[in-house]
Amino acid sequence: MNTSNYQPTVTIIGGGPAGLMAAEVLIQGGAKVDIYDSMPSLGRKFLMAGKSGLNITHSEPYEKFVTHYGKKQKEIEKYLKDFTPDDLRAWAKELGVETFVGTSGRVFPREMKASPPLRAWLKRLQKSGVTIHPRHKWLGWEKDSLSFETPEGKIKVKADATVLALGGASWPRLGSSAEWVDWLEQAGVKVEAFRPSNCGFNVEWSKFFREKFHGHPIKSVILTFEDFKQQGEFVVTKHGVEGSLIYAASARLRDEIEASGKAIIHLDLAPAFSQKQITEKLSKPRGSRSMASHLEKTIGIKGVKAGLLHEFLPKEIFANAEKLSAAIKDLCVPLISPRPIAEAISSAGGIKFEELDSHLMLKELPSVFCAGEMLDWEAPTGGYLLTACFATGRAAGFGALKYLKI
């Protein structure tokens, strides 16, 4: 396709990490690159991810890192092998972004925020020749052209290749509305229905507990569910529970609710003590102290943790040290449903991998490549989401170069 006088054109739709990485590969490969995004500025969800510190990847050994992609590990790993967490850190350094490893093994930029690296990246892309078109909402195809709604009206765009990086279905107000699903399905592409991932869950709290403890963090607990067991913290909300420890188990919890109508998590509220130690401490005479004071003085159970015990245990349990200690080490909390996908950090579902070739080109739509959260995979927070978005965006960019023969 390429001649000495012709520069192949590539349209990228979506200005998140996957789309920007594809743009970088393509502009360096000699293509003319235009990025279209429906929002007034690019990287809105990327910026949201960095509000509490931009966790770009994880420092654990690669062999362990790839296991966090669950059922889609095999599909995602082929792209991660070509752009590992170490490669991502090296890429960031080249961009002028120094990174460090936090105490949990997560990797962050020195400045923690997402805006400095995003500004540097966009500046480098534009300096390289990438043209950015904000406020251009993709409307699908009209024959062999891409149709966009713009502030100046509707336009049509033709390109030699297209990279779709439109995101999944979480946080639609930031641009990932999943409207593209209908257009791809009409073209014969199979798309797995989107479901919330890294999400909170609804719990039927009593009115008293909900009003008293909404927003309270539950720290230093161990959550167990089936083969999942991890220590961490989460937050009580008026609807139920959310936070890092809940997100880490969210895929398993969601799948169990879909299968049986509910999921019961098991909480160890006092990881520092064995059940025997708790029984011994609670069996000591408490004198004039109330049970609440006794729990606090002996094992540090107070506030929201004490509230959880009262929420789920009958009163008579508190008079039996052995039964109460057993409940403290294994409190059952039933989750009834995931929170809506619009609230989720990410989504599961998307374009099935069998619809794509090894270079992420759609088999039904030659010249159209897909990357990022549009694809049918999911991962917990901890840098795994962003790393795979970068890696698949890069792979789609190289796939388009191969297709264009440049």
We report the CATH number of the domain holding residue 396 as: 3.50.50.60
- Record the pTM: 0.91
Lowest mean pLDDT among 48-52, 194-198, 355-359: 48-52
Q: Is the pLDDT of residue 174 over 90?
A: no
Same domain membership, residue 375 and residue 305? no
Q: What is the pLDDT of residues 20-69, one digit of tens each?
A: 999 999 999 999 999 999 999 999 999 988 887 899 999 999 999 999 99
Residue 4 lies in a domain: no
Residue 309 lies in a domain: yes
Q: How confident is the model at residue 406 (pLDDT cuts 50, 70, 90)?
A: confident
Same domain membership, residue 178 and residue 159? yes
Same domain membership, residue 30 and residue 91? yes
Q: Cα-flanking dihedrals φ and ψ of residue 136, to 5°? A: -120, 105
Same domain membership, residue 65 and residue 43? yes
Q: Residue 49: its pLDDT value, please?
A: 84
Q: Residue 367: its pLDDT value, please?
A: 97
Q: Is the pLDDT of residue 314 over 60?
A: yes
Q: Is the pLDDT of residue 239 over 90?
A: yes
Same domain membership, residue 206 and residue 181? no
Q: Is the pLDDT of residue 2 over 70?
A: no
Same domain membership, residue 180 and residue 246? no
Same domain membership, residue 24 and residue 117? yes
Residue 118 lies in a domain: yes
Q: What is the mean pLDDT of the chain?
A: 95
Residue 255 lies in a domain: yes
Q: What is the pLDDT of residues 207-224, one digit of tens each?
A: 999 999 999 999 999 999
- Kindly state the average pLDDT of the residues 315-322: 94
Residue 135 lies in a domain: yes
Same domain membership, residue 234 and residue 184? no
Of 284, 303, 338, the residue that ends a domain is: 338
Q: Is the pLDDT of residue 307 over 80?
A: yes
Q: Is the pLDDT of residue 124 over 80?
A: yes
Q: Is the pLDDT of residue 278 over 80?
A: yes
Same domain membership, residue 271 and residue 330? yes
Of 316, 338, 360, the residue that ends a domain is: 338
Residues 351, 72: Cα–Cα separation, whole Å: 12
Q: How confident is the model at residue 4 (pLDDT cuts 50, 70, 90)?
A: low
Residue 257 lies in a domain: yes
**Percentage of the chain exceeding pLDDT 70:** 99
Residue 1 lies in a domain: no
Residue 67 lies in a domain: yes
Q: Is the pLDDT of residue 243 over 70?
A: yes
Domain that holds residue 258: 201-338
- The count of structural domains within the chain is 2
Same domain membership, residue 36 and residue 155? yes
Residues 35, 40: Cα–Cα separation, whole Å: 13
Q: What is the pLDDT of residues 126-135, one digit of tens each?
A: 999 999 999 9
Same domain membership, residue 241 and residue 381? no
Same domain membership, residue 394 and residue 323? no
**Percentage of the chain exceeding pLDDT 90:** 90
What is the identity of the amino acid at 125? L
Of 338, 357, 380, the residue that ends a domain is: 338
Q: Residue 3: its pLDDT value, please?
A: 52
